[in-house]
């Protein structure tokens, strides 16, 4: 459980992020309003905002101003949302429910689901490239967004995930590499962008990479566990999809107890990496909370 101070802190951060996203997505009176509405719907139906929070927290932990980091935090959340919009499509996971509401393609149709995802991805780079920070910071953060969301990052991981769907002999190392890219890439992007805006030292950059690598793996393992043990009404999405699709997960390979132990191991490694930062109180508490989350 989060302390009351941490709850207030993260609620304040989420409110700031949501207000920023709302401003960016206020696209009205255009002839392509249906896609603009689908973009807004996709982002505003909720989410934990973990990735943008990490951008702000690492910026602050390095002594930076989180206001400078907000455009990059918003851009990253748009990319994360686009990935979910496309994941839900009939040609991918064919999910009709997202965060307790109709998935975007189910509400607006498959065509507009595709287009709204494309638009969110492109708009993210428009936002990042006009962030109003020094040019070298803009270039670094935009490069991080591209590297971690593309073929060498999230898309690479999603592709491996599809290739592995019908595998009956997936190893733990192969699964780890898939999830390191599919789930972990945007988490690494968040932490490194926060460091870039905050003016991190070389040591802090390296520590952020270690933190993000381990947090990303722990996060995915908990997701795999929740797909077996979770409550659909709490999670806001269909559970049991991995079993239904015959997908090999950490639970498949290690069992629930083994998966929980591995998640704890990665979480401890992530927490150890935070010793490089002086102002990481809420990062530490939030990291522990993610290990015990139920949604």
Q: Nearest-5° angle of CA 225, CA 227, CA 233?
A: 120
Residue 185 has pLDDT above 70, yes or no: yes
Across all residues in the chain, what is the average pLDDT?
A: 92
In this prediction, residues 110-117 reach a mean pLDDT of 98
User: Which domains, from first to last, does the chain contain?
Assistant: 4-291 (1.10.600.10)
DSSP secondary structure letter of residue 98: E
Query: Is 0.85 surpassed by the pTM of this model?
Result: yes
37-61: pLDDT as tens digits: 999 999 999 789 999 999 999 999 9
Residue 112 has pLDDT above 50, yes or no: yes
Cβ–Cβ under 8 Å, residues 75 and 124: yes
CA 112 distance to own-chain centroid: 23
Whose structure tokens read 């952020």?
A: 208
Residue 105 has pLDDT above 60, yes or no: yes
234-292: pLDDT as tens digits: 445 455 555 555 678 999 999 999 999 999 999 999 999 999 998 899 999 999 998 88
DSSP secondary structure letter of residue 177: H
């Amino acid at each position: 459980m989060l302390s009351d101070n941490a709850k207030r802190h993260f609620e304040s951060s989420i409110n700031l992020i949501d207000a920023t996203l709302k401003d960016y997505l206020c696209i009205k009176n255009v002839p392509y309003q249906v896609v603009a509405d689908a973009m807004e719907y996709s982002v505003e139906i909720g989410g934990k905002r973990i990735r943008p929070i990490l951008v702000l927290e690492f910026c602050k932990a390095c002594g930076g101003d989180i206001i400078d980091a907000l455009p990059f935090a918003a851009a990253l959340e748009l990319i994360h949302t686009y990935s979910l919009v496309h994941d839900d499509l009939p040609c991918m996971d064919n999910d009709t429910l997202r965060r307790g509401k109709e998935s975007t393609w189910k509400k607006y149709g498959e065509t507009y689901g595709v287009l709204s995802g494309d638009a969110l991805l492109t708009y993210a780079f428009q936002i990042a490239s006009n962030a109003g920070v020094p040019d070298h910071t803009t270039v670094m953060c935009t490069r991080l967004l591209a590297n971690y969301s593309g073929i060498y990052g999230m898309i690479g991981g999603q592709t491996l995930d599809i290739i592995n769907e019908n595998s009956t002999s997936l190893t733990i190392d192969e699964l780890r590499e898939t999830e390191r890219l599919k789930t972990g890439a945007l988490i690494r992007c968040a932490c490194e962008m926060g460091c870039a805006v905050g003016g991190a030292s070389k040591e802090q950059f390296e520590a952020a990479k270690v933190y993000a690598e381990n947090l990303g793996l722990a996060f995915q393992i908990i997701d795999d566990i929740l797909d077996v043990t979770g409550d659909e009404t709490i999670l806001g999405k269909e559970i049991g999809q991995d079993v239904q699709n015959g997908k090999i997960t950490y639970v498949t390979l290690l069992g629930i107890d083994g998966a929980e132990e591995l998640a704890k191991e990665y979480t401890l490694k992530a927490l150890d990496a935070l010793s490089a930062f002086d102002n990481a109180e809420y990062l530490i508490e939030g990291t522990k909370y993610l290990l015990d989350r139920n949604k």
